[in-house]
């Protein structure tokens, strides 16, 4: 009787351990997925790349391997091994969800700050621009985008466009577009626009 009881307890213990191991492998993401030493900022409430654009902030560039890891199916293959992508901020880092921002287009004319969101299996489920800046002399156009966090899923973005009319550099017009948007998570999903207004500025 004691022998049967012991065998039952041992088999129960083995089953419990193997089941626990299976759960931890499938349901909990790799804790080393995000290396915090690469990022400049943590838990930002506002997103603005002015200081970086002016050369006042230095960021670490992603290697080709890191670009493949973080951008996954969104990666631009021809630019993966350049300084095109740079680490910016960690917004959230839990076993259930991870949110980071990466500067996209750091060596181009129109850099964007992209928010990348991952599920518990470290799969990319969100990809959204939250800040940007650019200058096109050929079109007499300058623009700037900044965003503010309302909560984990909702943001308020402001874009200011400044442009010359009919190549007259003295006749400058400025527009401001304010967009409230909600992040929609999933493969290739875009943000959902909740409200959008455009204003003429003096």
pLDDT band at 16 (very low <50, low <70, confident <90, very high): low
Distance CA 133, CA 89 (A): 17
Task: Report whether pLDDT(11) > 60.
Answer: no
The neighbour count for residue 83, using CB atoms within 10 Å, is: 13
Contacts of 81 (CB under 8 A, 6+ apart): 63, 64, 67
CA distance from start to end of the chain: 91
DSSP state of 151: S
Q: What is the pLDDT, as a whole number, of residue 169? A: 56
DSSP state of 108: S
The angle subtended at Cα 130 by Cα 158 and Cα 31, nearest 5°, is 155
Q: What is the pLDDT, as a whole number, of residue 171? A: 73
pLDDT band at 27 (very low <50, low <70, confident <90, very high): very low
Judge contact between 102 and 130, C-beta under 8 A: no
Q: What is the pLDDT, as a whole number, of residue 166? A: 60
Contacts of 52 (CB under 8 A, 6+ apart): 59, 103
- SS3 category, 90: strand
Q: What is the pLDDT, as a whole number, of residue 4? A: 46
Residue 199's alpha-carbon distances to 46, 116, 143, 161, in angstroms, are 21, 29, 14, 10
Q: What is the pLDDT, as a whole number, of residue 5? A: 46
Judge contact between 120 and 95, C-beta under 8 A: yes
Per residue in 29-86, pLDDT (tens digit) is 446 899 999 999 999 999 999 999 999 999 999 999 999 999 999 998 777 788 999 9
Per residue in 127-178, pLDDT (tens digit) is 999 999 988 776 678 899 999 999 888 999 999 988 876 655 567 788 999 9
Judge contact between 145 and 131, C-beta under 8 A: yes
Which pTM does this prediction carry?
A: 0.79
Task: Report whether pLDDT(2) > 90.
Answer: no
pLDDT band at 6 (very low <50, low <70, confident <90, very high): low
Q: Of 147, 150, 145, which is closest to residue 162 (Cα–Cα)?
A: 145
């Amino acid at each position: 009787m004691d022998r049967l009881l012991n065998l039952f307890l041992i088999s129960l213990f083995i089953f419990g351990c193997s089941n626990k191991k299976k759960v931890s492998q499938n349901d909990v993401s790799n804790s080393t997925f995000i290396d915090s030493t690469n990022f400049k900022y943590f838990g930002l409430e506002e997103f603005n790349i002015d200081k970086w654009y002016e050369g006042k902030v230095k960021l670490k560039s992603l290697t080709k391997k890191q670009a493949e890891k973080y951008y996954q199916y969104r990666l631009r293959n021809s630019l993966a091994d350049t300084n095109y992508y740079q680490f910016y901020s960690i917004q959230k880092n839990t076993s259930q969800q991870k949110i980071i921002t990466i500067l996209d287009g750091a060596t181009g004319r129109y850099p964007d700050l992209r928010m990348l969101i991952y599920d518990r299996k470290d799969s990319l489920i969100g990809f959204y621009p939250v800040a940007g800046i650019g200058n096109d002399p050929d079109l007499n156009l300058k623009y700037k985008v900044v965003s503010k966090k309302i909560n984990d899923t909702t943001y308020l973005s402001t874009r200011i466009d400044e442009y010359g009319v009919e190549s007259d550099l003295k006749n400058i017009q400025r527009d401001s577009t304010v967009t409230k948007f909600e992040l929609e998570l999933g493969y290739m999903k875009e943000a959902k626009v909740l409200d959008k207004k455009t204003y003429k500025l003096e």
